[in-house]
Amino acid sequence: MSDKPNSITDALERLALTLGESGAVPVGELVRSLERAAERLRTRGAPREAPLDLVTQAEASRVVGVSRQAVNQWVRKGTLRTYASPDGSRPAPQVSLSEVAIAANRSAPAPFSPTRRRELVQFLDALAADPATAALAAYVVESLEEGRPEERYADESRVLREFVVAAMDTGERQREFTAGGLRLLADLKPQLVVDRATPLGRLCGSLGLLVTSSDDVVGFDSPVTAVLGLLGCASVGAQYAGEDADVGRAIAAAALDCWGEEWPQRLFDAAFHLSVLRPSPLTRYTASLTYLDMNRFLRQAQSSGVTISYSRGPGPLLPQRFFGAAIHHDVLSGDRVGTPVWGFTPGAAAAVGRPAELGSAVNPFRILNYEFGLNDSSIHGVRRYCYSAADARDELRSTFRALSAAERSVYLRAATGNLARTLAQPEIELVAVQAQDDFDWWKDHIIRSSEREIVIGLRDERARRVAHALLVQTSMLPDVVEAADADGSLRDRLRIYVKNLEFDVVEARYQDDLRRGLARIVKPGGRGLTRTEAEELAEREVEKLLR
């Protein structure tokens, strides 16, 4: 061995170059393998830092809303870890608020009670009496039947495989789909076909609720998205003028007659329980369906306790992305309706147009994403909401500059108010990814992630013409590897890359970003703020972005 200090480094470098130059290993794959090895070596020995939300067991029980005895039992059983006080000021061991919240909510999903099921069938029977909604109602009723044979999803597995294969490339060659994968995605037929010439088809189409196959067949991919479609028609859809919107008003009237003012929550209940009863391994989501689905996603994830989401344009900081274009129009003009939360004026409806005519960033369904999702305190679990600080800063500044002096004041009040409401939620862990380059390719695609499922956002315009996002059940991931058929080399590579879609990998990257200072915790999960504390912190954060 040479005495040169860099001899081992030089030998490893020569080995890598030889493998690449000889063609023994494809250069792209060699680069990715070295990157993975470096990442594992760098993070494997990193010391585990104490969480930022350490409190006494008594304070944890008070904030999370469980008994002191329960916290003590979790500690004794090893369900909860304890930590020494970072500054040594407290002799007794402390616990993490977010970990206590996870332990408190780790339970099996609540069953779909017979009463709720009967109410749903009653509602669907009312819709079945109307020719406009009869086929959709019958489809959802059929999905409630027990004992249906389990379906295989070979085509869906191949679609997701093609997404992962395309993502294996590096640099500018990294893309979302191969040409074949895009054809597979577009060729998937919706489970429920909707006639676009009917009033329901016209309304759903204008609301951006229908997925479209390559042969121009439109519809819904699953019973869950069909129920979300009904909810979308009855809420935002009923705000518009026109004969087709009468269908939305009829659905809302039937729901009100069945459940009273709680009808939105009951339809969200139905979507959640159908997803448990009839899970769909891969489902195409439009932008409108993605925002409507936040409630179901969080409820599906609450038993395991934590979700992680990434956003380039965060609604809690950008009012136009929180409210959507129609309500934001009313906010700036001083005409905000406020009740129901998705309500907007006829003037806003006429000025802005329907969701299918708008970009996903200002989709009118975004308000439900926050009011019935992220900020819904009835759904337990820690929600790690990560946003690109650079993108948020650019959009906040450009939007602010384009407004009149009077509108700027209203806009800032809305931005600060929305952020303060979000920060006040104990469940929220708000995190800023500091530099634009650190909001990497995979983060840009992970809209939401949990142990049970992941929502992959599609950014390529060709793919977006087919779907805004793909909902993937994590139980499907092994099938994606097997979809490589007899290609053993591809199957081995897929085993590595499919891991990018698993929650433990997303979680490890999240923690690593915090450890290296690439991300900053604005507010830790499990910790509630008073109204004054939340408002003061929100003002500081908005001012920081505007400076």
pLDDT at 78: 78
Give this prediction's pTM: 0.84
- Compute the distance between CA of residue 285 and CA of residue 456 in angstroms, rounded to an integer: 10
pLDDT at 151: 60
C-alpha R_g of the chain: 25
Q: Give the E-state strand segments of 121-222 in sequence order.
A: 192-193, 211-212, 218-220
Burial class (CB in 10 A: 0-12, 13-18, 19+), 85: middle
pLDDT at 89: 63
3-state helix, strand, coil in the chain (%, to 5): 55, 10, 35
The residue count of the chain comes to: 547
Other Cβ atoms less than 10 A from the Cβ of 69: the count is: 9
Give pLDDT < 70 ranges for the chain: 1-6, 26, 28-29, 32, 35-36, 38-49, 86-91, 105-109, 146-152, 170-172
Tokens of 84: 């020494």
pLDDT at 541: 97
Per-residue pLDDT tens over the stretch 12-54: 888 888 887 777 776 766 776 776 676 556 555 444 567 777 8
User: What's the Cα-to-Cα distance from 29 to each of 43, 105, 176, 412, 502, rounded to whole Å?
Assistant: 21, 41, 17, 48, 21
- Domains of the chain by range and CATH? 9-44 (no CATH), 54-104 (1.10.10), 110-150+189-279 (no CATH), 151-188+281-546 (no CATH)
H or E segment and range at residue 536: helix 531-546
User: What's the Cα-to-Cα distance from 179 to each of 142, 185, 427, 435, 491, rounded to whole Å?
Assistant: 36, 10, 41, 32, 20
User: What's the Cα-to-Cα distance from 170 to each of 176, 311, 445, rounded to whole Å?
Assistant: 12, 22, 16
Residues paired with 202 in a beta bridge: none
pLDDT at 49: 62
pLDDT at 317: 97
- Compute the distance between CA of residue 324 and CA of residue 159 in angstroms, rounded to an integer: 31
Q: What is the 3-state secondary structure (H, E, C) of 295-352?
A: HHHHHHHCCCCEEEEEECCCCCCCHHHHHCHHHHHHHHHCCCCCCCCCCCCHHHHHHH
Closest CA to 192 of 292, 274, 104: 274
